Each structure stands twice: as structure tokens, then as C-alpha cells.
A and B are shown apart, each in its own frame.
Chain A
Amino acid sequence: MNKKAVWLMTMFFGLTVSAYAQTTVYDNFLITQTSPASGSTTVGPLIQPAPEIAYFEDVSDINLFNFQPGDIFTTYSALLIPMGISGGAADKLGITSTSSLNFSANGSANMTISSFDGMNHVFDPLFSNYVSLVFDVKNVGSSAVDLLFRIGPNSTSAMYSSFDEFGIPAIMQNIVTLAADETATFIFNLGMSVNNPSVVWDYASDPYNEFYMEVQPQLGDLGFELVVDNIGMVAVPEPGSVMLCLFGFVVSKLAWRKNK
């Protein structure tokens, strides 16, 4: 197979081989649910075609999120920029990204998304139709930053720490440090497991809970600049599409080997 054919195959299956090389995948997060709420399984992402939550191809996607600075003097900005992140979550979602969210602040800040906007379910947090929540983050700032994830605000713990006898976060876990210029793909696996019952995203038990991504500049640093992109749900795949993907993968690997 010649190189042009490889390229065509790659495009056809939506894969860009080079993208995987620059993306670190963090997929050891688990968000659990306890009891599905009545009727929740019928609620899918409002943005169609599902399973998009926010691909940041349109500026209106920014309005799905809330941003909060770490203190009264910290200011943040959340802008759509013409720079997509390819590979990573984009591939898992089968999309090509041309723009993304630029999220920056001169202190710590978080961005949150709720399944429930007070009137509607923006998307289904019960995940029964999906296997994972995925998204890409790239650190475009000059310093490393720490990313902390949790479900809240009312849950008493987060998925990144446990507490000592004084209630101080003692064992830091699941905190991801993104070096400058590093790109990461986050995969939050969804399931019925109750391994960590504190990390529950279930609007039946608390419809106001949100998914947090808190950005903490490291000690002594000030501020951050991230690019966030390709937030979506990975659906339970149809058998046919699984086969197609496998076929595509095999073909591309073969083509790659043949054209080395």
C-alpha cells in the first residue's frame, strides 16, 4: 500500500497516528452511581448528535460551564480559540477538532459542568448509555499545573484525597500534574461500581452535583493557561462499529508497516 493510501485510510477511520504520541492518557478514574433516578436513562446529551457534551466548535459550548476564581482578586478568562486538540478524546469520539476552550487565570480556578441547569438535564450523568466521560487538556502555560477532579459541591470528599484526623487532605491521589506543553486525555470510566461511594454523580441523590476540574498552580507559581477540548461521552459501541474500528486499525497498522 502506498503512502497516499495509508493517508486516505487514516482519514477514513478518523485516526491520526501522530496524535497518540503526544497525549498522555489518564484513565484510572472511576465515577460511580448508586441508584438511577426514575426516567434518567432517557436523558441524553442535549447537544446533537450525541454523545457531545462540549466539543468547543461553537462559542455557545462555553456557556455550559461555570468558572470560578480561587479568590476575589483572581480573574479568569474562558475563550474559544481556533486551535483544536487532535488525537486523544477527539479520536475516541470520532471527531476532528478545529477549535477549543482556552481557560486561564492569574490564580487557581475551577471549571464545572452540571447535568442539571435548574430546569433541564443537559446530559445524562447516570451513564447507563455510555461507558466513559472523556476530554483533552493541554497545558499551554509556562509552568506545570495540578488538576484536581471531584464531584460536588455537597459531597464531603473528592476523588483526589483522603483526610487525616484533623480533616486535612493527607493522602493526595489522582492529582494529575500537567507539565508545561503537556497534553493529556482524561477518561473517567462510568459504571455501577461502588468502590468509592463518595464519588457519585447521580442527580437522583443530588441533582445539583457538578463535575469539577480544579486547576491549582503549583506552590509559588501564579496562574495557568490551559486548552480544554473534546468533552464527550463514549457510548457503548454497536457491534458493527466495533468491527469497523478493528478493521480500520488492522488495515492502518498493516499499511504503516508496509510503508515504513
Chain B
Amino acid sequence: MRKIVWLIIQLCLITSYAMAVDYDNDGVNDDPYRPNFIGYESQNLYFYIDLQSADRFYSITLDNDSQPYTFTTSDGYTMSNDNDGILQPLEMARMRVVVHPERLTPGLQQDLASGALKLVMLKSPPDTIGDVSDPITIMDNSEIALDVTIDRLTPEMENLAFTLNLYNTSSGSNVYIQSSDTSLFLPTDDRPFGHITGLNTYSTHNDLSIISGDPLILDGWAFDDNDGMAVTMYYKRPSDPTDVQAQAAVSRQFNMINLELPYWGQVYPSGFTVEWDNEDLRGYYDLRIELNDGSHTVSLPTQKVFWNKPPDGGLLTPIHNEDITDPEILVSGIAYDLDVDVDINAYLSAVEVYVDSSSNLIGTIPNTAPDNDTMEFQFIWDTVYDQSEGEHTIYAIAYDSFGLSTQFGTRTITIYKTSPVIISIVPRLGPWRANTVVSITGANLSSVSDVHFGSTAASIISASQTDTLMQVQLPQISDPASQYVDVTIGNTANGHTKQDGYRFVPAELGLNTITDVISDMEFNNMTGQLYLLNQSTRQVDIYEPLPGDGLVYGATDSFAIRSTAVPSKIDLSKEQTILYALYDNLSILEIYDLQTGGTLIDAVALEDNDGDPVNPVSMAYLMYDIVLIGSTTPNACLLMAQLDTSGASYDISQLPIGLQYEDIEVVPSSNKATAYIVAKDTDTDTFDVFLYEARTMLLTPLAVTIPLATGQVGEVSVAPNYNGSEFLVYTSTDIALFDHTGSLLDSAVYGADYVTFDNTRAMLYTFNSGDSFFTLKNPSDLSESISYIHFPNAQFASGEPVLDWIGDKLFALTPQGIAAVKIGDIYPQLSINPMFVKSDDTIELVAQNAGHVPENIEVYVNDQLQSGKTLVQSDNDTHTFSMPVTLDDDTSGKLVARLNGYTSKAENLYLLSSLFDKVADMSGLETFQPGGLFYDDSRSDLYVFDAWKATGTTIARFHIEVDSQGVVSAQRLAVPSEIQVPYPVGMSRANDYILVISRSMKSCYWFDVETFDATSSATVLSAMVSPYISLSGVAGYSPKVDIGVNYAYVWNQLSSGGPDVFQINLDTQAVARCNFISPRTSDVIIDYADDPADDRAYAVSYTTPGRQSDFVTIFDPTQPATQIIALSTIDLGSYSGAYQLALNDEALFSTLRTVKGVSLIMPDHSGADNHVTLNILEGSAIQPQFITTNNDFLAFDGVQAGNSYALSFIDVNIWNDYPADAPFDVTATYAPASSTLYDIQMIQNKLFTVIDNEIYIIDLLDTQED
């Protein structure tokens, strides 16, 4: 019987399924079986009446999702009841209704025949009661179990009530069964659900999907009542803990699954497609689809994928635009596949090489080592002549095992079988006043009958003409121009052009034959004059450029030197105003004033320590009016003369280099900072090299060797670079490059009579007596010969040529006169914008004077060839490129452009890196605005304080490490919470006390950092001068030798009445006023000496425009305040606005706010008050606010016009003093747009700079060794 009942109920259900009901007339079909549900459901309905039960006429129990139930779609999605008590979409709940007939209404009782009772489910809430389903006839007196599933629930609710109507078909009597009456609800949760139906899989490996190439496409479907549900894909490496959102395109569309889950309607876009292109990702990833409806986040099962990407490669040979003349050539290259895993058959499989088209395969190279991700390949292409003569395209294709391939190395080649072709031109440059022989190598040259250099026809030297080599004679150019020209060769049928094949260089000959004996020549870089030391006439002949192109020099003046002696050497002072003359066999050095036409200032006798006269042969003028003199036998020695060029006094001493030498030569660097001394011992055929540094007056022996044949020691010479940081030692057969410590950098087997460095570029020039040319060599690779260039009219140098400071003109005395070659014209000039970058920036490069073929221009950053530059535009011989910044590791870069081996002057590219990016712990710094910096150099701790913050973290401490590669690391360190004072405006250190000034509390606070670091606890002490006196800053003082002094000097910038510096005893907290007048003190700085008695403090008084002079007061910081007096004052001039001080080993510096500059101060502590002050910068665009320095750089920042901020720095290391520039020119200025700059701090050669809410580290790059 029950079976029959069940069958009937099934029949009813089928009927109900077919009959859509719209009981609320809203135009939407409503499911009659589930209250508040929209849509249709097909399900089983069981209804039993149990007439044997007692008590109530009905009772209801809910099973929620505890029923075993599994839902499966045709595409494999399976979902089972999770038995969590909450009904979720597609889960099934069971309501069980038990009817007790004795409690039924009479009408019902009368008709309790089988089938008399019917049950219908009504919509909930009950105010809309009505028939919403076909009634279910109860065929048995048992019970009813009604199973319901949740699909789309609108609106979303957590507890679902329902209503049933049980009635008698005969009497019409009925009973409403409302679940809410018995507080029964179906707990519901309408979370999204979905299914991934596919990936664009190339193949599978276990549970791994292999995706080959872009894009990755993932399909699926997902449902939720919220139509705006987000579908997002995340990815991660299997070993990574967290995943990353994929920047993938997600589209939604209708999916056929709707037909199986129709509750969302027939048009609901349940399908989704994720399409993801990412060229950077390859290898193993876990993909996760996340569904988010605003209140639920549901992840679909993770998909494991291996994303295979195409291989790539590069063709090494032939090169682009190569002219091929041989019937067979080597084809070679490298292919690589960065996602290799042979375990899943992912590897680089082969390379094929084609010419012109895919039908012309010339080589197939299988990968014999699939484990490797890189494959080098090469083969001999021996069928070159099977191709037609002319231009072809060669390219290669790399294939991987998953069917991906990439074409690479596409380049144009030109095959010459019978036509003439140029392979090389030697030399590639020459003077426009020529008669120069040029060699051309190539193929099929024997037929060449015409050669043109630009528009100039060259004469073929027929005797030398072969198929592979020919020589031509360049005539004097009638219309000279400094330019690259194309070189064209041709025969009667064909021709060939080498674009930019030759460079004409301006060069002229004075044609003023000099018959006198000229023993030395010097170029005056200030006046542009040449000085020829004329032995014959015993005078200095002065030559100047004649009207014209400035390359023809003629004698215009002269002045007599000591008439009874034979002059041998001259040298010029750094300012080029004094000329020093040395005489063979006469122990005398004479000093001439060039500004007065060569007036003799003084004659200095040269004697060794024993009072014996020496035989001087070489001389080097250095900074600070030091002249080194080397002499030869007898009494060979090295003398150092410190000269007062007014002639008033001089001091000569013999430097201790030993007495074993027969010949001592000195050679100065161009900037006169250093000199190298070669001391030769001809008895033992050995030599020694010494470095003399003018700044320190130190003579340092260097361990330097070079191969020497017997008797060759006499040839040994040295050549320093512009500042002497590197030097060459050379003979006629060997050459070696050393740094200033004597470490060997490079060597090569060739020699020269003279070698000189280019002062501005990476280039060497070597000269040999009698040669009509000089050669250009690469100092970074001595074995590389760049080119050579003839002197005009093929003359040869009869003495040592000289080069001007900026490497523009080279002069040589020739038998036909003075040759001048404008060597500077051959080099490209590079400019970069911007100069200050972050690692992911792009810069613009402009290469000028760089020929007409932009592909020829190479760009190097820190000697690394850059491949990422893109040509933006070309204008004649000027080319603009964009290039991504490749700098990293907190290291700035030196950029050069190189063209045919000619290297431009280096341009600095300064890298900014963020300090905070290096710090793991940034807790409490969310609203921190850095303002001031204080560096505790004894612990390498950088304190950063927020001068505008009242509470919370106002001071942060970072331990800074700079490794040998220049990489900065930073670690957050703790400070006592009590030192987090409001509005900190100044910090300093005295011994282990860290000092802080609070603006609002008008007090100085301090704690013992050593104690705090050891115990995590330290007492914070404080002191105040007066509640009416603001403290503007603090300078801690504790001498190097412990004399029981721990002071803080604080000051009041607003001035409290003249003496505005106060002393706080940090051990007793006593405060006292220093007894000297220093109105408006704006900074105090301490100069430490080894002996505390020599310690000095400097306080600067800042006055206002139009008032009295600003000055620095010197006082003894060791004294108690009441005994402190002004030891001396240093006047910094009126209208200067001296404001902040900085100190290095050389000098004291003060910013000058009013005149917008910096003053260099050399305090005189002798008591004579002979202080030296020099405003090394005035009229800067920046009104300096903060300043910092070390021995290499001085930096300052502040406001410039328009209230924008900028930062400048100056190279203050005299070693780096570039001879052609003023010594303290601003090296670079950084003016970030719309940013505010605050404090700056030098740590080693890194400049820490507060910019807005960040601290940037700028690597200042230049060092003494550059």
C-alpha cells in the first residue's frame, strides 16, 4: 500500500513540476513547495500520516541538512549535505509532519478515508496564504516527510519559516501548520557555489595541468543570489605561503548548467571565463578561484598548473648587417628555455635556422642536453653561395617540447660573391689636413676602381690592391668639416658603402717651422697659450691660436729666462699663473709670474740634505705651492720645495726615498693633487715607484713591477690619470695599469715613448718618436687598440705631446711646426634625464656627435653594456633613446656612450632607494612623518624624528649597515618609551647619552643607550633652561678621552639676550648659561681632537638681512659654562645669513641662507685669529636649510624659487678636484617635483634624505678611486 501511496505522490509531484504557479501575480513563477523560493525544484515529496501517535494533531520536526544527500550535475560537480545544520544551496532538508487524527477538525475526522487528507505547502509568511501547489493526497495514516532544497534565496535570510495547509477534501476543513508557531525555522545560508569546468590544458601529468603559452584560460560556472558576485583568480608558487591576485580578465556568460539548475532563471550568467596573459610567469603555480558575494568568500578547488612559456634565444653570428663574402660561415647562438622540467617532459627541444623563409631551412640543431635550460649551438653554413648575391634575412626558431616556439635573431646579411665589399677601414679616423694612407680590408677588392670618403675621392695605391686588401691616399680636404662620412667603393658594375665608415677630425699644422731646440712645451689651460721652452734663445716662446678655426698656433710673445743657463723643464701652477723653470746642470728652480709678462719672482737653489747641489731633471708643481724636483746623478734625490710665490720665502727639504738611485723622475697628475715618482737604480736594473699626495704631504712607496730586460730600466716612465687615482708604468715594450695603492689592474705587451690619459674620458694616447700617428687605447682593457690617428700632413712628434685639461686639443711639436688635433671631436657626448632615478624608472639618453647610425651607439652603465635602450628619435648625428634603469643594490651608476670604441665623458645617474622598504618592522610609524635625522656613528644607528607629532612614536631608531658592495641594510631598534617626547626638534649624542630636544616642552631629554640596549630599560632625564626660552637644538659633548665631562650644549635661536648658548651637565642635570655673546644662535657643532684640551666648539650666530655680520664663535667645550668665553670669532660677512654648520676632517662649513651659498671655514687655533673663510658657493638656486658633509661630499637642501625644494651636493675632496672646473662647483642638484625635503645625513657615501614621508638613500657614487 505504501508503495502505491509513494507512486501517487510521485505522480503528483511530476504534475506540480509541470504546473507553474504564480500565486502572488508578480509575473514570476513561484515554487509552490518552498516558501519564498523563486524558481522551480524537482524533488521527492513524502507524506505519511501516523494515526497511532498521541498528543497534538500535528507535529513537525526538521532535519535540516542532516539527511544523506548528494547533488550531482552532468559535468561532474558533486555536492553533498555537509551536515552543519545550515541549509545551503543545493543541500536538502527534511520536514517531517505527523498528523494526529483525533485532534483533527470534525470534518476531517469524518473523511478520514484513505485519500481524504491533503496537504499543501503555502507561501510564507502566512499573510499570503493560498494554494501554492497541487495538494498532496495522503493515502495512508502515517506521516509526511517533505524534503526541500535551497537554491536561490531572495531576499537572503538566515531563518526560513514555512506554512502548510492540511485539509479535508470532503468537508473543506483545514488546518494551517505554521512552523513559526512552534518556533521552527530552517536555518539557511545562501553562499555562492561553483565549479571549474576546464583549463586550456596542453596535456596533463597526474593532477597537474600543463598550460602551454599565453593566455591561460580557465572556465567554470558559479551561482549566487547576488548577481554581482565577484569571481577572482589567485596564484602562488606551490612553496609560497600566500597567493597573489592575478591581473586576469574575467568574463561572465550563460552556461548550459542553468538548464540543470534553473532556479536562477534561463539567462543567469553562471558561466565564467578567466583569461590571463602574463609574460613574466612560468613554471609551477597553484591557481585558486574565489567567489565573493559580499558576505561570503568561497574558494573552488585549487588547480595545479605548469605554465609553459616559449623558449627564446639570440644569434651570435652572423651579426646584423654583416657583409658575407665567404662561401661558408659559422652560424652560432644561444637558445634558452626558462621552464625546464624533464620529469614532466618540459624542455627545449631544438633550434632551426632559416634564411629568408620557412622553406629555406639551413640547419637543425637538436638539444642533446634537455636538462639544461640553455643551449649553445653552432654549425658551419657551407652553402652560402647557394643563395643569391645581395641582401638576405637569417633567423632562428627555438622549439620546446610542448609545441611552443619563438623566432629570434632576425638580422640582415648581405652576401657578396663577386661584388666588392668593405669589411674594415683602418684607421677609422683621420685629420682633415690629410695625405693619410687608409687601409681597406674586404672581399673582391681587386676590381675596385673608385673610392670615396664622403664626397672626397681617394687615390687607390694600386701596388697594394688585392682581393682582400687595398690602400688609398686621402687628399687634403678642400671643404673640411668635423664629421662622419660614408666610405664607398665600386667597380664598373657594383659598389658597396660603409655607412659612417670614416671620421674626419679637425687638425691643423702651424707651419711655423721651428729650428731652435725646444726642450719642453706646456699648455696654459686658462689663457689657451702654448709655452715653448726655447733652449737656443733661453726664453719662453708664447704661441696663441691665430684667427681661423683656433687650431693654427703662431708665436705672439716671449719672455727671457735666466740667460746663463740651459733650461730643461717648465711647469705651471694649478691656477696657471706661475711658471716654474728648471735647468740642466744648474741646481736652481726659478719662478716666473705669467700675469706680469714673465717677471722673475725668485730663484731657488736646489741642494740635498748635505748641502750639495743636485742635478734636477724633472719637476711637478702640486697644490699648496708644493714643487717636487727629481734629480739625477750625482746626488740623485727627491726634493720638496714649499714656495711662497710672492718670493718672500721658501722651504726646501729632501724627501726620504733612499740614496741608492741614479735617476729620480716626478710626474704630476693633471689636477696637481698627486705626483708619482719613479726612482731608478741602474746598478741593479730595478726601480721603485712612490706616490706623493699634496693634501697630506705623505710619500708612500708602492710595490710595482713591470717586465724589464737588462738595461731597460732607463725606459721606465709613469703616467697618472687626472687625479692620480690610477697610473701607468710603461717601457718601450710593456705597459701596466695600477691603482694608487699599487695594485695591478691590467697589463699589455706594447710600449710607447709617451703615454697620456684623456682627462675626461676612458682613453689613453700613446706616442712613439718618429711615428706620424698616435694610437687610442682603452684603459679598461689595455690590450684593446681603439684606433690610431695621423698628425696633420703625416708629421711626427719630435717631443712629448701635451693634451689640454678637457681632452679637447692635443698639441705636438713636429718638424713642420705645431700640430694641433681637435681630439675631442671624435667622442660622442651623452646627456641623461633625469639624473636622479628610482630602480623602476626610465631615463632619456641623448647621444650627440654620434654619427648617423644609431645602432652603432652602445651605452654602458658601470661598465656593463645595456641592451634595453630604445631609439626615440634621430636628428642627424644626435640620437635620443629611452632606457629602463637597471641600477640596484643602492648603487648609482656611471653612464657612458661608446661609439666605435670612442667613449663619452661619464655621466652620473644617481639611484634613490627607500630606507623604509628595507625595514621589516614599521609598527607605530603609520602616521610618522620623518623630519630630522641624527646619526650615532659609534653604533651606526640612525635616529629619525617627527618634529610635528605630539604623541605616539615620535622617534624611530634604525641600525644601518653598508656592506662592501654598497648595499644598505636597516634594522629597527627600540628606544625607551619615555624618550618619545612631543615635537622633537633636535638630537645628539654625548658618550652613551642620546639627547633629544622637545619643542613644546622646552626641555632636553636624554637616556643611556648602552644601558638600554643591555637591559631594555633606561632612565630618561631632562632639563629645562626656562619655561620662557625655547630650545632650538642640541650638541652633545663628551671628549674622546674620559675626563668626566658629559655636556649638552643647547641654544635659543630666537635669542634670549645675547648669550644664547646654555650648557647642561648630563650627569647632574645642572643648567648654566655660557658666557659669550652669540645672539640668535642657530647651530653648535663640536670639533673633536685626540687631546680634549684641543677640542673646540663652534656656535654660529644667525642674523637677518641688512644687519650686522654673521659670525662663528669658537669656545672650549670642556669648560664649565660660567668659565666659557669666546676664544675667537670668525666673521662670515654681513648679509650672508650663516645658519647651519657641518664639519669634516678638512674644514668647517656654514650654510649661508641670505646669499644662498656655503662658506668654507678654516679656523685658526693658533691664537693669531688668522681664520680663513671662503664662500665656495654663492647665488645658488637653493636657500640652504640643512647641511651635512663627509670628507668627500658636502650636501645641502632647502627651498628654491616657487617654494619648491631641492638638494645639491658638492665634491669637496681635493683628490677629485677636476682640473678644468672650479673646485667647489655643485656636482648635482635634485629637485623632486611637488615634494618637501627636510634633514639630510651622510653615512659613508650614502646621502640619507627626508623627502615627504620617506627617507631616500642616494648613493653619491664618486669616490677617490674614480
Contact = CB atoms under 8 A, between A and B. Distances in A.
A146 interface: yes
A42 interface: no
A112 B1104 CA distance: 10
B967 to A, nearest CB: 31
A118 B1108 CA distance: 8
Given A66-B1105, A154-B1079, A210-B1107, A71 B1057 contact: no
A166 interface: yes
Contact of A161 (B997, B999, B1057): B1057
Interface residues of A, number: 50
B999 A222 contact: yes
A117 B1072 contact: no
B38 interface: no
A66 B1055 CA distance: 14
Interface string A121-152: 00000000000000000000000001010101
Interface string A31-71: 00000000000000000000000000000000000101111
A27 interface: no
B1106 A70 contact: no
Contact of B999 (A70, A157, A172, A208): A70
A167 B1075 contact: yes
Interface in B930-948: 931-932, 947-948
A155 B948 contact: no
A97 B1137 CA distance: 35
A73 interface: yes
A212 interface: yes
A169 B1029 contact: yes
Contacts of A74: 985, 999
Contacts of A153: 1055, 1058, 1079-1080, 1101, 1103, 1107
Contacts of B948: 73, 106
Contacts of B1001: 219-220
Contacts of A68: 1053-1054, 1080, 1104
Interface in B995-1043: 997, 999-1002, 1025-1033
Given A118-B1107, A153-B1079, A168 B1073 contact: yes
Contacts of A110: 1054-1055
A220 B1080 CA distance: 23
Interface string A71-83: 1111000000000
Given A114-B1107, A168-B1072, A71 B1032 contact: yes
Nearest to A223: B1000
A118 B1073 CA distance: 31
Interface in A180-237: 208, 210, 212, 214, 216-222
B1057 A152 contact: yes
Contacts of B1082: 72
A248 interface: no
Contact of B931 (A73, A156, A161, A218): A73
Given A72-B985, A106-B948, A109-B1054, A166 B1079 contact: no
B599 interface: no
Given A74-B999, A166-B1071, A154 B1054 contact: no
B1054 A114 contact: no
Interface string B942-973: 00000110100000000000000000000000
A25 interface: no
A7 interface: no
Contacts of B1054: 68, 70, 108-110, 212, 214
Q: Secondary structure at chain A's binding surface: helix, strand, loop or mixed?
A: loop
A168 B1026 contact: yes
Contacts of A216: 1028-1030
A156 B1077 contact: yes
Contacts of A72: 932, 985, 1032-1033, 1053, 1082, 1140, 1185-1186
B1056 interface: yes
Interface in B1049-1067: 1052-1059, 1062
Given A72-B985, A153-B1103, A222-B983, A217 B1055 contact: no
A156 B1057 contact: yes
B1106 A118 contact: yes
B1143 to A, nearest CB: 17
Given A71-B985, A71-B986, A73-B947, A158 B1104 contact: no
Contacts of A106: 948
A154 B1104 CA distance: 13
A167 B1104 contact: no
Given A107-B999, A167-B1072, A117 B1030 contact: no
Contact of B1104 (A66, A69, A119, A160): A66
B409 to A, nearest CB: 59
B1027 A70 contact: no
A217 to B, nearest CB: 7
B1057 A150 contact: yes
B1242 interface: no
A21 B1134 CA distance: 46
B1030 A221 contact: no
A114 B1077 CA distance: 20
A256 B846 CA distance: 83
Nearest to A216: B1028
A152 B1055 contact: yes
Given A107-B999, A161-B1028, A210-B1107, A118 B1053 contact: no
Nearest to B1058: A156
B1059 A167 contact: yes
Interface string B1057-1096: 1110010000000111111010110100000000000000
A160 B1056 CA distance: 10
B1135 interface: yes
A114 B1001 CA distance: 31
A175 interface: yes
17 contacts: A66-B1105, A70-B999, A71-B1030, A72-B932, A74-B999, A107-B985, A114-B1106, A119-B1106, A154-B1058, A154-B1108, A166-B1121, A167-B1121, A168-B1062, A208-B1107, A218-B1027, A219-B1001, A222-B983
Closest 5 interchain pairs by CB? Answer: A167-B1073, A153-B1079, A118-B1106, A73-B947, A166-B1072
